[in-house]
Structure 1
Amino acid sequence: MSTIQHTGSYYADSANNKTPYPQLDGSIDADVCVIGGGYSGLSSALHLQEQGFNVVLLEAGRIGWGASGRNGGQLINSYSRDIDHIRSRFGSEAGDMLGSMAFEGNAIIRQRIKQYTIDCDLKDGSFFAANTTKQLQGFEQTKALWEGIGHQQLSMVSAEEVGNIVNTDRYCGGLLDMSGGHIHPLNLALGEAEAFVALGGQIFEQSEVIDVVRSPLQIKTAHGEVNSKYAVVAGNAYLGGLIPELASKTMPCGTQIVATEPLTDEQAKALIPSDYCVEDGDYLLDYFRLSADNRLIYGGGVNYGGGDPSDIQRKILPKLKKTFPQLGDIKIDYSWGGDFLLTLSRLPQLGRLNNNIYYCQGYSGHGVTTTHLAGKLIAEALSGDAKRFDAFANLPHYPFPGGRLLRTPLTAAAATYYSLRDRLGI
């Protein structure tokens, strides 16, 4: 029997628990069947199990196999489109509701780590680095916006102060968010899975869902099925065509990461003396941080339509060396990629199908924190309080122009335009 294993990443090699969960074999019953073992599915499953539901989670590969176990590991607040944009496009009520939840996903992660003693290398501090004065002005506006909805752990960083955070001459200042931070993403997912199982939840790996029979609800795999009252669809960029109406309004996008050999304490301190995570303000942004064992983990760029280039190092190393030319010919120990799911509005899509199938997807690059919020909102809705869930569900889910055939080239063309504006500082 062929199995799906984790990609060859630094995270997979340094995972705390490599013990597999069983494959589904036969027919079982549950209150809720969760499809997908990433953050969306794990957050939904754990919140629901805590509230007394009998939950089964099905994963096609391994827990955290997709973006949840491959990402940059940064805890970034808010959404890919910020609250001012939401207010202007969808009204003050929607903006206020989503604004009240903009920092909650981060708080949920920290609460999970503390409550369930999850060892995932949590470190505090996120730095948004400005390449241009225009980006710096944008971060000043972000600071005022976030403080206006109650977030107070922010400070502007001048060009003269950047060196205290990250030792590069690329940036002219930035915004520091001390409520943000970074983690080992796969170990967070594995710790949440262990917490879910400890509460009585059931996880089945190597159990790809091949059909969702909607009435009566039955979730089928190659070797079994789950008969449940509700389903939560949380496959995100790896859902494929299982639910066609969800795939038509999203687009997978690939991003790539490298991890260097371990640096000495002196080398690590010379690169990022603050030990904060960093992302810049470009449309196609760079993001990087130090791991617990002093590796520089550096990612950037997007492949619209998903997938990886033939040579990840060739794509990422020029970015890394532009930021840190002092590293010279540093050895790269790991290179990997993964897909996240983009929506046209850049806002997450939450909703219902047939009133008993709930879904959450399309975090557009802000998935680490927003997935954890989405799982909590689904649990609230299934427990009878859908107000906060519906604040997202009522947002329009737009199709990409040109349909599935043209969405990739049209979006790539738009990205090229915005990247050119970044380079020109306009």
Structure 2
Amino acid sequence: MPQTSYPESYYAASANPVPSRPALQGDIETDICIIGAGYTGLSTALFLLESGFKVTVLEAARVGFGASGRNGGQIVNSYSRDIDVIERTVGSQQAKLLGDMAFEGGRIIRERIAKYHIDCALKDGGVFAALSEKQMGHLRSQKALWERYGHKQLQLLGKDEMRGIVATEQYVGGMLDMSGGHIHPLNLALGEAAAVESLGGVIYEQSPALSIQRGQQPVVSTPQGRVKAKFLVVAGNAYLGNLLPELAAKSMPCGTQVITTEPLGDELAASLLPQDYCVEDCNYLLDYYRLSEDKRLIFGGGVVYGARDPANIEAIIRPKMLKVFPQLANVKIDYAWTGNFLLTLSRLPQVGRLGDNIYYSQGCSGHGVTYTHLAGKVLAEALRGQAERFDAFATLPHYPFPGGNLLRVPFTAMGAWYYSLRDKLGI
């Protein structure tokens, strides 16, 4: 059977050493089978194992192969649609539950890093950068909103203060969230996988789920084996394919691109981002960047709807980087890669249950590093019989993309173009 390797990313090149994990061979039984060894699956597995369940994880490629090991590495609170949108969509009780959970994922990440001694280059501090006075007004409103839900680690920044954080003239101001931060995302996933195994969980790599036989005890078939379980958790997100058609109909894989420079050296790196915070701007199609532990600039942005791999990633992202940091014109790009995330029409995550024993979470819509860790806790709670927080997510309304599979990409791209034009015009 052919082996699927990590993409040629900076994260894969700088990953911590990991053991080789076998593919599933033969038939086994378990309490809970989890499909996907990314953040959602690993977080769920850890919470379940800590509660005494027997857990088996099936991964089609390698631990953290998908978005969990390819993202910008930024710890960003809340959801892709913020709490004010949720407040306008659902009742006050449900909004309160979801709002209270909006800042929990980052705390879970830090707890996991401390408890299991995960080496993933954690740095505190994340900045939202405003390119216009309109965006600055949005940040003021966001600060008030988040503080209403008890999140107090926020500071508004003026233009001069932003210059002390980012060496660019692009921004009129920003907001610092000290509970934000950044990590080496693949090393976080690898550390969580090691923690799963330390508690007796079993992870099979190179074991894609080919089919699910539903029933009183669902059975997942892989190329060389089968898993019978009491419960199934589906955590494949943008890499799930059409395994469960009812989930695929309400979501769309999208690609985002990332580049990494050659090592910049301590002096140049410190001149770009003196506080070593991560940064994302406030555009609809936003850019995001940070320094790596070895003083490279990791810069990402752009969206490819339908998750096609662009022919020349550097040609897409390098101009964005130089617009922020023209002083890097002669710097070499060492790595360029794409990774897929799963978009929903509402841009809110989809959580639910199929029948009595198949649970799922998907559709982080580009905001998944913190949410996926929360999702693992919420799914584990539901499997233990505590479903209030699970139900708060599960009852959010979700709809298929207009036009079905044929038209969802052009329709979504048109909508993104419209909002991107509004960003450029400042309206």
TM-score by length of 1: 0.99
1:333 aligns with 2:337: no
Match of 1:389 in 2: 390
Partner of 2:100: 100
Letter of the aligned partner of 2:150 in structure 1?
A: G
Runs of 4+ in structure 1 over 4 Å off: none
Q: What is the correspondence of 1:53-202 to structure 2 with a 5 Å cutoff?
A: 53-202=53-202
The amino acid across from 1:57 in the alignment is V
Tell me what 2:273 maps to.
272
1:316 partner letter? I
Q: Residue 71 of structure 2 aligns to a residue in which SS?
A: coil
Q: In structure 2, how many angstroms separate the alpha carbons of the residues matched to 1:387 and 1:42?
A: 22
Deviation at 1:18, TM superposition (A): 3.5
- Contact persistence 1:162–1:173 (CA under 8 A): yes
The letter of the residue matching 1:157 is: L
**1:136 maps to amino acid:** M
| Matches of 1:155 and 1:106, distance apart in 2 | 18
2-structure distance, mates of 1:159, 1:80? 26
Residue 328 of structure 1, CA deviation: 1.7
Q: Is 1:130–1:174's contact at 8 Å kept on the other side of the alignment?
A: yes
- Give the drift of 1:355: 1.3
- The 2-side partners of 1:232 and 1:307 are apart by 27
Instruction: Give 1:243's aligned amino acid.
Output: L
Q: 3-state DSSP class of the match of 2:210?
A: strand
1:19 maps to 19
The Cα of 1:164 is off from its aligned counterpart by 1.0
The residue that corresponds to 2:351 in the other structure is: 350
TM-aligned CA deviation for residue 90 of structure 1? 1.5
Report what 2:43 is aligned to. Answer: 43
User: For residue 312 of structure 2, what is the aligned residue in structure 1?
Assistant: 311
SS at match of 2:243: coil
Aligned to 1:400: 401
Give the secondary structure class of the aligned counterpart of 1:407: helix
1:297-327 CA distance string (max 9 Å, x none): 0000100111221000000000000000011
Partner in structure 1 of residue 208 of structure 2: 208
CA deviation vs aligned residue, 1:235-285 (integer Å, no higher than 9, x gap): 000000000000000000100000000111100011001100000000000
Distance in 2 between the 1:41 and 1:324 partners? 37
1:163 shift after superposition: 1.1
Rounded to whole Å, the distance in 2 between the matches of 1:284 and 1:421 is 11
Aligned to 1:425: 426
1:209 partner SS: coil
Q: Report the counterpart of residue 7 of structure 2 in structure 1.
A: 7
Distance in 2 (CA, whole Å) between partners of 1:82 and 1:227 is: 39
CA shift, 1:92, in A, is 1.6
- Counterpart code for 1:106: G
Q: Output the CA distance in 2 between the equivalents of 1:402 and 1:231.
A: 31
Gaps of 5+ in 2: none
Instruction: Report the Cα distance in structure 2 between the residues aligned to 1:320 and 1:369, rounded to whole angstroms.
Output: 25
Amino acid at match of 2:372: T
TM-score, normalised to structure 2, is 0.99
Secondary structure at the aligned position of 1:7 is classed as coil
Partner Cα distance (2:139, 2:356) in 1: 40
Alignment match, 2:224: 223
* Aligned amino acid, residue 151 of structure 2: H
Considering only aligned residues, what root-mean-square deviation do their CA atoms show, in Å? 0.7
- SS of the aligned residue for 1:46 comes to helix
Q: Name the amino acid aligned to 2:322.
A: K
Q: Could you tell me how far 1:152 is from its partner in structure 2?
A: 0.6
d(CA) in 2 for partners of 1:336 and 1:221? 28
- Between the aligned partners of 1:297 and 1:195, the Cα distance in structure 2 is 27
Q: Does the alignment pair 1:362 with 2:359?
A: no
Structure 1 residue 262 corresponds to structure 2 residue 263: yes
Q: 3-state SS of the aligned residue for 1:262?
A: coil
Query: How far is 1:128 from its partner?
Result: 0.1
1:307–1:337 CA contact under 8 A, matched in 2:
no
Shift of 1:396: 1.4
Aligned partners of 1:165 and 1:138: how far apart in 2?
A: 20
CA distance in 1, matches of 2:394, 2:318: 40
What is the rounded CA distance, in whole Å, between the counterparts of 1:250 and 1:329 in structure 2? 40
Q: Which amino acid aligns with 2:354?
A: L
* Equivalence for 2:286: 285
In the aligned structure 1, how far is the partner of 2:219 from the partner of 2:340?
28
Task: Work out the percentage of aligned pairs sharing the same amino acid.
Answer: 62
CA deviation map 1:375-412 (0-9, x unaligned) = 10010011110110110001112111111111100000
Q: Distance in 2 between matches of 1:145 and 1:217?
A: 42
Contact 1:344 1:399 in 2 (8 A): yes
3-state secondary structure, aligned to 1:397: coil
How much has 1:107 moved relative to structure 2?
0.4
Post-superposition Cα deviations, 1:311-355, rounded to whole Å, max 9, x if no partner, equal 000000000000000112210000000100000111000000011
Per-residue displacement from partner, 1:183-207 (whole Å, max 9, x unpaired)?
Answer: 0000000000000000000000000
Letter in 2 for 1:32: I
Q: Distance in 2 between the 1:389 and 1:126 partners?
A: 28
Q: Secondary structure at the match of 1:422?
A: helix
Letter in 2 for 1:88: R
Check the 8 A contact 1:218/1:225 in 2, yes or no.
yes
**CA distance in structure 1 between the partners assigned to 2:19 and 2:255 by the alignment:** 28
Quote how far apart the aligned CAs of 1:20 are: 2.1
Residue 89 (structure 1) shift: 1.4
Q: 1:82-129: per-residue Cα shift (whole Å, max 9, x none)?
A: 111101112222211100100000000000000000000000000000
